[in-house]
Structure 1
Amino acid sequence: MEWQTVNFDWNRAKAFLVAAEEGSFSAAARALGVTQPTVGRQVTALEEELGVTLLERVAHGIELTPTGLEVVEHFRAMSEAAARVSLVAAGQSVSLEGTVSISASEVISTHLLPPIIRAIRVDYPGIEIDIVASNLASDLRRREADIAVRNFQPQDPELVARKVKESRAWLYASPAYLEELGHPTSPEDLSNGEFIGFDRTDALMEGLNALGLDLTGRSFPIITESQLVQWELCKQGAGICVMMEEVGDAEPRVQKALPDLPPFPVPMWLVSHREVRMSRRVRVVFDALADGLS
C-alpha cells in the first residue's frame, strides 16, 4: 500500500477510528460530541491526506475497505499508546490546580454530586471539575474520565476501586397513581400498574417478577434510557419506576409503591486508573467523593 503522504491530522484519524468502531457517522458523532457532517468531513479529509479510500458508505452505515481494515489497526494502536502516555503524564502531577473529570450516572450527577463538588471547589479553588453525566461506563483507560462512580466492581487490574456505599433502590410512584391502582398492598395488586422501563430487554421485568410480581412486556408502555426523564415521569404520575432511596425518599411527590417488597441492592464504587490515581489532585477529589458519597 502506497500513501501519497505520511502526514495527517490526528483529529481526523480519531474521527475515522471512532466511526469504524461505532459503525456509522451518526454514532461516531454522538460519541465525539460533534455533528454528523463534521465526522464525515474529517474522514474525507483524512482520505485525501493519505490518498486512499478508507470507508464505503452503505445503506445502514459504513464499511471498511481493505485498506481501511489495515489502517484502522495502526490508528487503534496509536490511540492506545497516546492514552497510556496521557495516563502516565496525568499521574505525575503534584499540582492542586487543573481539571479532574468525573463520570457518573445522570441521577448521581444530579442529586448526589453537587454538594460534594461545591465543597471541593471551596477547599481547593484551583481544581476545576468536569462532570460526565452518562449512564454508560466511561473508558478510564482512554481518559474519558479520571474518576468514575459505578454500581459494579471493575475487574480490570489496571483500575483502582473503592467501595464507598451499599445503597438500595425501591419502586416509587406518585400517591395519585397508587390511588388509581386502589392502593396496592401485594405484588399481585402492583402487577396491574404500568412501569417505566430503561430499555426493551426483559432484565427489569425478570428482576421484578423474581420478587413476586407478574409482569409482561405490556406492563412497560413507556421506555426511556434517561434516568432523569424516568424520574420526572414517575413524579408526574405516569407510572412506577425504580430509584435509589437517597433520591426517592427525599422527593415529597412520590412514595414507595410497595414498602414490603425487597429493595434492589445498589453498590457504589469509586474507580480510577492506577496511573491517574497517582496525581495529587485526582487523589484529593477521589477522597472527597469517597467521604461525601459514604
Structure 2
Amino acid sequence: MDWKSVNFDWNRARAFLVTAEEGSLSAAARALGMAQPTLGRQVSALEQELGVALFERVGRGLTLTPSGLELMDHVRAMGEAAARMSLSASGKAQAIEGTVSISASEVDSAFRLPPIIAQLRQMAPGIDVEIVATNSESDLRRREADIAIRNYRPTQPNLVARKIRDIHGRIYATPGYLDSIGNPSTPEEYCEADFIGFNRSGEFIAAMTRFGLSLTQANFPIVSESHLVQWSHVRHGLGIGIMAADIGDAEPDVAQVLPDLDPIVIPVWLVTHREVHTSRRVRLVFDLMAKELARPFYG
C-alpha cells in the first residue's frame, strides 16, 4: 500500500506510534496520559481506516506486523517533523524520557554497567533505568527487557544484534591461596586444588579442560550459580575461579593462574527487539552501551 496516499487523523497516528514504541497499550496509555480503552479505539480506528492489521499480540505485549513496520517509518517521520516545529516555536530542547530495561549477567550488571549508567544519567536524566541482573536469558520478544548483553549471537527473528568485541576468560586465585597449595606452575599440579564453579555438573569441568586442567567433581567443594558469589569466594582465598580478564586483572586481591595458557574467548553481543529499537530513548541507550562496552573495564 502507498501510505503517502492515505489521509488519516494525526491523533490516531500518534496513538499507533507510541503504542509501537512502548510495546503495549497500557504502557502507551500511561505515556500519553489517556485511558487505555480510548487509546485502543484510536489504534483500531486507524487499522480499519487503512484496512490492515498493524499489531499482533505476543504474550502480554504487542508486536508490529509487516504492515505496521512499513507504516512506522512514515509515522515516525511525521512525529519528528511535528516535534521540530514545536521546538522551533518554543525554543526548547527536546527531552528524552521514559524507562529502559537492560538485561545483563550479574558480573556485567555489577562491573560494566555502572560507569555506563553514570554517563547516561548525565546525558539524559529523564531516562529511568531498570537493570535485570540475571544469568538466564531474558525474552526480548516478550518485552522482559528492552536491551540485553549476551555472550552468543542471537538467532531469533525480529532481534537487532551488534557484535561488540571478544573478551578473554581467565582463572584467578589469591596469592595466599596459591601459597597454601605450593604455588603450582603446571596444569597437572592443580589436580588437587579447590575450584569454585557454577554447579557440580560437567559444564564447568569441561570449561576448565580448555586450560589444560583435568578436574573432577571432587575439585569443587564450593559451588554457586551466582557469578558474584563465586567471585567473592575467590577473592576471599577459598579457591580458584574464572573471570573476564579485564575485570579480574583490575582486582588487586587476586592474580592470574597459569597466565601463559590460552584464554577462553567469550563474544559480547548487544541485542534489542526490532520494534523497540525504533524508540529514541532505547536507541540512545543502545548506542551508548555499544560504544562503552567496546572499551576494557579498568575498575
- TM-score, scaled to structure 2: 0.68
Deviation at 1:207, TM superposition (A): 2.4
The C-alpha deviation readout for 1:108-148, integer Å capped at 9, x for no partner, is 01011101101011011111111111111101011110000
What SS does the corresponding residue of 2:212 show, helix, strand or coil? coil
What SS does the corresponding residue of 2:101 show, helix, strand or coil? strand
Q: Which residue of 2 aligns with 1:174?
A: 174
**Aligned pair 1:82/2:56, yes or no?**
no
Q: Which residue of 2 aligns with 1:242?
A: 242
Quick one: structure 1 residues 105 and 81, their matched pair in 2 at CA, closer, same or farther if it must change by over 3 Å?
A: closer
The C-alpha deviation readout for 1:182-236, integer Å capped at 9, x for no partner, is 1111001122211111023201102222432121110111110111110110000
- Which region of structure 1 is more displaced relative to structure 2, 80-89 or 261-270? 80-89
Q: How does 1:125-204 map to 2 (within 5 A)?
A: 125-204=125-204
Q: Tell me if the contact between 1:164 and 1:270 (Cα under 8 Å) persists in the aligned partners.
A: yes
Quick one: structure 1 residues 210 and 268, their matched pair in 2 at CA, closer, same or farther if it must change by over 3 Å?
A: closer
Query: Identity of counterpart residues, as a percentage?
Result: 49
Q: Which residue of 1 aligns with 2:262?
A: 262
Output the CA distance in 2 between the equivalents of 1:274 and 1:140.
10
The C-alpha deviation readout for 1:141-182, integer Å capped at 9, x for no partner, is 111100000111100121110011111110000000011111
The C-alpha deviation readout for 1:71-120, integer Å capped at 9, x for no partner, is xxxxxxx972532259989x879771100000000110101110110101
What SS does the corresponding residue of 2:61 show, helix, strand or coil? helix
Quick one: structure 1 residues 160 and 184, their matched pair in 2 at CA, closer, same or farther if it must change by over 3 Å?
A: same
What SS does the corresponding residue of 1:200 show, helix, strand or coil? coil
Higher-Rg member (1/2) = 2
Output the CA distance in 2 between the equivalents of 1:236 and 1:244.
18
Q: Which residue of 2 aligns with 1:9?
A: none
Q: Which amino acid aligns with 1:276?
A: V
Quick one: structure 1 residues 265 and 210, their matched pair in 2 at CA, closer, same or farther if it must change by over 3 Å?
A: closer
The C-alpha deviation readout for 1:41-90, integer Å capped at 9, x for no partner, is xxxxxxxxxxxxxxxxxxxxxxxxxxxxxxxxxxxxx972532259989x
Deviation at 1:266, TM superposition (A): 1.3
Q: Which amino acid aligns with 1:80?
A: V
Output the CA distance in 2 between the equivalents of 1:282 and 1:139.
16
Q: Which amino acid aligns with 1:84?
A: L
**Aligned pair 1:293/2:289, yes or no?**
no
Quick one: structure 1 residues 86 and 138, their matched pair in 2 at CA, closer, same or farther if it must change by over 3 Å?
A: farther
Q: Tell me if the contact between 1:194 and 1:220 (Cα under 8 Å) persists in the aligned partners.
A: yes
- Which region of structure 1 is more displaced relative to structure 2, 137-146 or 199-208? 199-208
Q: Tell me if the contact between 2:57 and 2:63 (Cα under 8 Å) persists in the aligned partners.
A: no
Output the CA distance in 2 between the equivalents of 1:195 and 1:250.
21
Output the CA distance in 2 between the equivalents of 1:134 and 1:235.
21
Output the CA distance in 1 between the equivalents of 2:60 and 2:217.
45
Question: Which sections of structure 1, spanning at least 5 residues, go unmatched?
Answer: 1-77
The C-alpha deviation readout for 1:223-273, integer Å capped at 9, x for no partner, is 101111101100000000000112100000000011112211111110000
Q: Tell me if the contact between 2:59 and 2:142 (Cα under 8 Å) persists in the aligned partners.
A: no
Q: Tell me if the contact between 1:197 and 1:223 (Cα under 8 Å) persists in the aligned partners.
A: yes
Aligned residues: 216
Q: Tell me if the contact between 1:86 and 1:143 (Cα under 8 Å) persists in the aligned partners.
A: no
Q: CA RMSD in A?
A: 2.1
Question: Which sections of structure 2, spanning at least 5 residues, go unmatched?
Answer: 1-55, 81-94, 295-299
Instruction: State the 4+ residue runs in structure 1 displaced beyond 3 angstroms.
Output: 85-89, 91-95
Quick one: structure 1 residues 237 and 81, their matched pair in 2 at CA, closer, same or farther if it must change by over 3 Å?
A: closer
- Which region of structure 1 is more displaced relative to structure 2, 79-88 or 271-280? 79-88
Q: Tell me if the contact between 1:166 and 1:265 (Cα under 8 Å) persists in the aligned partners.
A: yes
Q: Which residue of 1 aligns with 2:215?
A: 215
Q: Tell me if the contact between 1:167 and 1:245 (Cα under 8 Å) persists in the aligned partners.
A: yes
Output the CA distance in 1 between the equivalents of 2:210 and 2:251.
27
What SS does the corresponding residue of 1:125 show, helix, strand or coil? coil
Output the CA distance in 2 between the equivalents of 1:226 and 1:211.
22
Q: Which amino acid aligns with 1:243?
A: M
Output the CA distance in 1 between the equivalents of 2:117 and 2:175.
33
Q: Which residue of 2 aligns with 1:120?
A: 120
Q: Which amino acid aligns with 2:62?
A: R
Q: Which residue of 2 aligns with 1:279?
A: 279
